[in-house]
Amino acid sequence: MHDRDGKIWIDGELVEWRDAKVHVLSHTLHYGCGAFEGVRAYNTAGGTAIFRLREHTERLFNSAKILRMKIPYSFEQVCEAQKEVVRVNKLESCYLRPLTWIGSEKLGVSPKGNTIHLMVAAWPWGAYLGEEGLKRGIRVKTSSYTRHHVNITMTQAKAVSNYSNSILANMEATEDGYDEALLLDASGFVSEGAGENVFIVKNNVLYTPDLSAGALNGITRNTIFAICQDLGLKLVEKRITRDEVYIADEAFFTGTAAEVTPIRELDRIEIGIGSRGPVTEKIQSAFFDIVNGRNPKYAEWLTKV
């Protein structure tokens, strides 16, 4: 990953990819207090465009606020940095990774007195859970790891440190031969995937866990809410149990990286027809129309680079 041609935006400068380095005594590297985003740009008919750039940037600023970090750039500068990185690397469609971290001036737990930094990188990244996964659905395992409790770490921050939980869950599931993990909250209710929100479909109604289950407030999740409204599908945010997922007609994950990925199996129990269901397919197709600029209603969600 580190050895590529291209440019990475760091603190206002475009740096050669190979020279984009931080010091080993960076505070965030030791204690995990940092925040990031995952954003995608799509190759639309009108040119390359970043999907919901302002919402992702807003979440980055909110994550930093929750972590008591002050990003030393304006909202507009951070939006512009993301557009610039896609442009200068001549990317048609890509994944973008903005990250804000605490510098290396001092290393006590208190970060006070340290500088705050920001970088934006971008690179081509296809289907996160595989092209086949998008079509046929993936196999998921309920994790033995619990999703963060809302007052142990801050679950509405896309915080660097939150991802050790996601890594453990994903490693456990994939080492057991599954594609991804489903995490339950501290009370045993369904929360989310290691890097995705989750939805189920029962009798043509969609259900997704409300955010008190500790799931990240996903921007794709929010996009699905809009799609449901457009398609006249009822959607309910509520507590969901793992056995409700077993007996659902359909289930799917959503995320910037995962997009809309059907779940065909949970804990070796087949969900519905054991493949991508008709409601998921409709939602997936509406989602790809929106992100690829084929639905004029959502043109404002696409920022040309």
Q: Which of 138, 123, 100, 93 is nearest to 258 (CA)?
A: 138
Q: Rounded to the nearest whole angstrom, what is the least distance from the CB of residue 99 to ligand PMP in the complex?
A: 13
251 binding ligand PMP? (CB under 6 A):
no
Of 114 and 197, CB closest to ligand PMP: 197
256 binding ligand PMP? (CB under 6 A):
yes
The span of 108-116, 216-224, 238-246, 272-280 binding ligand PMP (CB under 6 A) equals: 216-224
Of 118 and 257, CB closest to ligand PMP: 257
Residues serving a catalytic function are: 158
* String of contacts with ligand PMP for each residue 152-181, x by CB under 6 A: --------------x---------------
Q: Rounded to the nearest whole angstrom, what is the least distance from the CB of residue 18 to ligand PMP in the complex?
A: 27
The span of 129-137, 199-207, 219-227, 268-276 binding ligand PMP (CB under 6 A) equals: 219-227
* String of contacts with ligand PMP for each residue 14-53, x by CB under 6 A: ------------------------x---------------
Q: Rounded to the nearest whole angstrom, what is the least distance from the CB of residue 119 to ligand PMP in the complex?
A: 17
Residue 88 has φ and ψ, to the nearest 5°, of: -70, -25
Q: Rounded to the nearest whole angstrom, what is the least distance from the CB of residue 166 to ligand PMP in the complex?
A: 6
Q: Are 60 and 116 in contact (CB under 8 A)?
A: no
Handedness of CA 204, 209, 215, 221 (dihedral sign): positive
Residue pointed to by tokens 């934006």: 120
Give dist(CA 162, CA 143) in Å, integer: 16
220 binding ligand PMP? (CB under 6 A):
yes
Inter-CA distances, 124 with 17, 41, 52, 77, 88, Å: 14, 9, 18, 23, 14
With CB under 6 A as the contact rule, the residue among 216, 263, 271, 302 that binds ligand PMP is 216
With CB under 6 A as the contact rule, the residue among 180, 192, 250, 265 that binds ligand PMP is 192
Q: How many residues bind ligand PMP (CB under 6 A)?
A: 15
With CB under 6 A as the contact rule, the residue among 185, 196, 250, 265 that binds ligand PMP is 196
Interaction with ligand PMP in 119-158: which residues (CB under 6 A)?
Answer: none
Q: Residue 185 is encoded by which pair of tokens? A: 């909250």
Q: Catalog residues that contact ligand PMP under the rule CB under 6 A.
A: 38, 166, 192, 195-197, 215-216, 218-221, 254-256
